[in-house]
Structure 1
Amino acid sequence: MYPVKAAAELSGLTPETLRAWERRHAAVAPHRDAKGRRLYDAAMVERLARLHRLTDRGHPIRDLAGLENEALDRLLQEGRHAGYGGVETLPERMLDAIADYRVDVFDRDLSVAIATLPLPVLMSRLVTPLLREVGVRWADGRLAIAQERLVSSLLRARLLSILNQHPREQRPRLLFATLPGEPHELGLLGAALHAYEDGAPVLYLGTELPAVELARVANRLGAAAVAISSVDPGQAPAALAELRALDAELAPGVPVWLGGANARYLAEELGIERLRAVTDPAALTRLIRGRALADRAR
């Protein structure tokens, strides 16, 4: 059972919003302790998190509050898999614009997509195919280095704006960074956005952060977990040393989740209990939800 403040934090709401949803819309019916104080079980927290994600996408709470959880899940899935006409051809059109250095066209299309597509659709049907096509065109010579860097810089700026435009109301609990020598961040940024969509309070620290500094920030904030991306095989030996330093400085019990091409190698080579390779979005979702509830239960 969780009190009002904890239930609000876990679901991404303020206590005031949670109380308003109860009072005005009967979104949940909390239990009461012997003193009459509200208590919420894990199922209620999950329901509130669903409602929060759907209201973030523009659904009015008055239309959602009376729905069963199964109906809320269907709405979430519809948002993930809806047609969104034209999105399938958008990556190719955007890269054609970059090939002609029409940066304004690329940026306009990206901005409209961010404004109109649910985040899972944006990532799975625009950003990921776009990056894949960048790789293909770079390999066969249709995309110059300067054009590839344009795509990366524009994507970075716009995707970071998603994290920054609606910061979570509670203290950041999940930190994202790369270690020194790892400048590639689009995969890391995608993972951070996935965590954000799952309702996690995210702090995105960016690239090439020394392990000791990362541990200092995590300890200061009382982070629930640290997520690190490592993709450059040439940086794997240095990453091993940095991760050992991180393990030595990081507070006990804080897990380190590794993503990127080097993740499995690093986790297996180090054999440190708190280090875990996480290369699947669904696994990241399970870890976020499990960690949030376990953390609050303590």
Structure 2
Amino acid sequence: MNSPPPLTAPTTSVSGDTGLPIATVERETGLGKDTLRAWERRYGFPMPSRNSSGDRLYSAEHVQLLRMIVRLLDTGLRPGKVVGLDHAALQTLLARQTPTPRSFLSKTNKSDTTDNPIVEELLHTIGSHDPRALRQGLSHAQLRMGLAPFVIDLVAPLTTAVGEAWAQGRFEVFEEHLYTEVITGVLRHAIASLPSLAVPQGPKVLLTTVPQEQHSLGLLMVEALLALESCTCVSLGTQTPLTDIAEAARAHQADVVALSFSSLHKAAIVRTSLRELRARLPASTALWVGGACPALYPSALTGVSAVRHLSGLQPLVAQWRHTH
């Protein structure tokens, strides 16, 4: 089978001082600035124009293609196989791919959503541009199902389905953003509605991501499941420097630091970051990791617990309590 044709240049160009700065592209795609520059050098894509100050400017087409590439990387393909392909080639690859069930922060081991009528109904609601109906549908599902099944059996596969719908051209970027905003509000409300214990139970978990990892919805799903287990959660949001993670863990006297990694990170960088963070953390502080990054799972690093699926969080909490 012949390989899809490479993308030699975007069909639309950016001239003068118009276009998107690299910080905006980083935010819209989840790809770090260093990754974008490295791909530019290695693959010749994306090849931005420059403004009068010499800063990179990217076109809307660049962003669209990069987001398609991110979807393919999430299925397990390597950058060398997809970076630089044109829109048609990327769309063809996306149609052939199925998500790998590796992520405990955005997927579960039940990654097939084709037979889930609730997921399809909610996808239709997203496409109808009715945020109130979407919020009500998700809120009612949470009350009916209970928080843990809601997160594991509905939110996780729905999040995957929303990403796939965008990649297939069914959704626009704003529709995906709307879903993220609505489900974030629903999960935050569900967490706040959980009864508080007179005496908080351990572990106290510090949740965040390393620099250049911008995905936050997975962390919120984990926080919801941990809160349901009566854990004390402290979320720092995304992209926290390693030194700050270690300092925050000490300041909050965290029992556990929980991190997520997408498939965009190079294996060597992930393992180096984990070794460095493990060395900076107190020996008594556990380090839990998960996500779609394959480097997390082949061989566990000393002092690091890798969780493949959301359903693996409760046993890990039980194990921690048994040993403490």
TM-score normalised to the size of structure 2?
A: 0.57
Q: Which has the higher helix share?
A: 1
SS at match of 1:142: coil
The root-mean-square deviation of aligned C-alpha atoms, in Å, is 2.6
Q: Which residue of 2 aligns with 1:255?
A: 286
Q: Which residue of 2 aligns with 1:284?
A: 313
Partners of 1:178 and 1:148 lie apart in 2 by: 21
SS at match of 2:231: coil
Q: CA deviation at 1:94?
A: 2.2
Q: CA deviation at 1:250?
A: 0.8
Partners of 2:123 and 2:305 lie apart in 1 by: 35
Q: Which structure ranks higher in relative contact order (CA pairs < 8 Å, sequence separation ≥ 6)?
A: 2
SS at match of 2:236: strand
Q: Which residue of 1 aligns with 2:259?
A: 228
Gaps of 5+ in 1: 1-87
**What does the per-residue CA deviation read over 1:156-188, in whole Å, with 9 as the maximum and x for residues that have no partner?**
222123223447542761222111111112222
Partners of 1:167 and 1:251 lie apart in 2 by: 31
Partners of 1:285 and 1:249 lie apart in 2 by: 26
Change (3 A) 1:282 1:137: closer
Gaps of 5+ in 2: 1-115
After superposition, where does 1:49-88 map in structure 2 within 5 Å?
Answer: 88=116
Partners of 2:196 and 2:271 lie apart in 1 by: 32
Which of 289, 296, 303 is the equivalent residue of 1:274?
A: 303
Q: CA deviation at 1:141?
A: 0.9
Change (3 A) 1:232 1:167: farther
Q: What amino acid maps onto 1:242 in structure 2?
A: S
Is 1:130 equivalent to 2:158 in the alignment?
A: yes
Partners of 2:157 and 2:311 lie apart in 1 by: 19
Which of 76, 88, 95 is the equivalent residue of 2:123?
A: 95
Change (3 A) 1:241 1:218: same
Which of 274, 278, 295 is the equivalent residue of 1:265?
A: 295
SS at match of 1:206: coil
Change (3 A) 1:160 1:242: farther
Partners of 1:278 and 1:125 lie apart in 2 by: 17
Change (3 A) 1:161 1:242: farther
Q: CA deviation at 1:155?
A: 1.2
The sequence identity of aligned pairs, in percent, is: 27
Q: Is the 8 A contact 2:152 2:311 kept in 1?
A: no
SS at match of 1:214: helix
Partners of 1:160 and 1:206 lie apart in 2 by: 13
